[in-house]
Amino acid sequence: MNLDQNTIKQLAEHLDNCQLNQQDTLKITEQHPDMDWDDAYAIQDEIRARKLARGLKVVGLKAGLTSFAKMKQMGVEVPVFGFMTDDYTVQDGGEVKVSELIHPKVEPEIAFVTKAPLKGPGCHIGAVLAATDFVMPGIEVIDSRYRDFKFDLKSVIADNTSASRFVVGGQPVGVEGLDLRTTGIVLEVNGVPMAFGAGAAVLGHPAAAIAMLANHLGERGEEIPAGTMILSGGITEAVAVKAGDNVTLRVQGMGSCSLRFV
Ligand code: 0L1
Ligand code: MG
């Protein structure tokens, strides 16, 4: 690690306040160019500690930058990981107030819910599928705290991977007999199909993102507990939204979930 504890705390406070005040900022590596990956996750951990101290609860985990296209664009081979707190939860069909966000975008995802713990190293797709209770449609609302979504990987990890809101819903289904690689999705905004894809866009198989998360946590001596909801990553590019937009995600064999921006 290259940053001292005071700097990590200050940067966490800064990013947390940006989120609370809907204020954007320049990417933090501008001021701290020698920040490393451990520093970045330490800042994210400090943001989580701040939220927990305010009485919030962690209700899910996420993998981000999981589509081959986005990873190539960013020049990375490993996704980024973050967490969701209870105030990020939107009920299916519920409202998201744009006044509480900076510049939201939506991503179509497949959400996994585990029934057994998953721990790396060596976690693989088979172990993830064996530990999966069910999968269901999920829309992630990302809202980078960085001006115009201009960031680098370390800055985005520190910023809890742009997490801000999510909805899961539709019809939960078990993974037996399901080929998540060929599961098709359509993301509609105001009834108009805006993005299409299939599960294989996420690392070849969405369960690979969950395995990578388990391996990442394993390096830190942590695991994915049973009963965890995990967003496996955007299947398509994120779509910018504004007040008045209704967003619906349809996933083949899993129904749909939706939210509206007000
Ligand atoms: O969930 C995601 O894939 C987003 C990760 C952070 C990068 C971004 O804000 O686009
Ligand atoms: Mg996402």
Statement: residue 79 has pLDDT above 80 = yes
Q: What is the pLDDT of residue 159?
A: 98
CA of 143 to the centre of ligand 2 (A): 10
CA of 119 to the centre of ligand 1 (A): 24
CA of 142 to the centre of ligand 1 (A): 6
Give the contacts of 6 (CB within 8 A, at least 6 positions apart): none
Tens digits of per-residue pLDDT, 117-132?
A: 999 999 999 999 999 9
Backbone angles phi and psi of 252, in degrees to 5: -50, 120
Tens digits of per-residue pLDDT, 15-51?
A: 999 999 999 999 999 999 999 999 999 999 999 999 9
Confidence of residue 74 (pLDDT cuts 50, 70, 90): confident
Q: What is the CATH number of domain 57-261?
A: 3.90.850.10
Q: What is the pLDDT of residue 118?
A: 98
* Mean per-residue pLDDT, 195-222: 96
Residue nearest to atom 2 of ligand 1 (CA): 64
What mean pLDDT, rounded, does the chain reach? 96
pLDDT greater at residue 215 or residue 152: 215
Closest CA to 214 of 117, 76, 130: 117
* Mean per-residue pLDDT, 109-115: 98
CA of 251 to the centre of ligand 2 (A): 16
Tens digits of per-residue pLDDT, 231-243?
A: 999 999 899 999 9
Residue nearest to atom 1 of ligand 1 (CA): 64
Closest CA to 223 of 95, 114, 106: 114
* Mean per-residue pLDDT, 63-88: 87
Pairing of strands 192-198, 246-251: unpaired
Q: What is the pLDDT of residue 177?
A: 95
- Domain positions in the chain: 57-261
Statement: residue 76 has pLDDT above 90 = no
Q: Is 140 in the pocket of ligand 1 (CB under 6 A)?
A: yes
* Mean per-residue pLDDT, 220-228: 97
Residues at Cβ < 5 Å from ligand 2 ion: 64, 107, 140, 234
Residue nearest to atom 8 of ligand 1 (CA): 162
- Dump strand ranges (E) for the chain: 58-64, 80-85, 94-96, 105-114, 132-142, 163-168, 184-189, 192-198, 229-231, 239-240, 246-251, 255-261
Q: What is the pLDDT of residue 72?
A: 75
Closest listed ligand to the CA of 108: 2
Q: Is 156 in the pocket of ligand 1 (CB under 6 A)?
A: yes
Q: What is the pLDDT of residue 250?
A: 98
CA of 241 to the centre of ligand 1 (A): 15
* Mean per-residue pLDDT, 154-171: 97
Whether residue 201 contacts residue 184, with contact meaning beta carbons closer than 8 Å, is answered with: no
Q: Rounded to whole angstroms, how far apart are CA atoms 112 and 256?
A: 15
Q: How many helices (H) and strands (E) does the chain have?
A: 6, 12
Question: ipTM more than 0.85?
Answer: yes
Whether residue 144 contacts residue 151, with contact meaning beta carbons closer than 8 Å, is answered with: yes
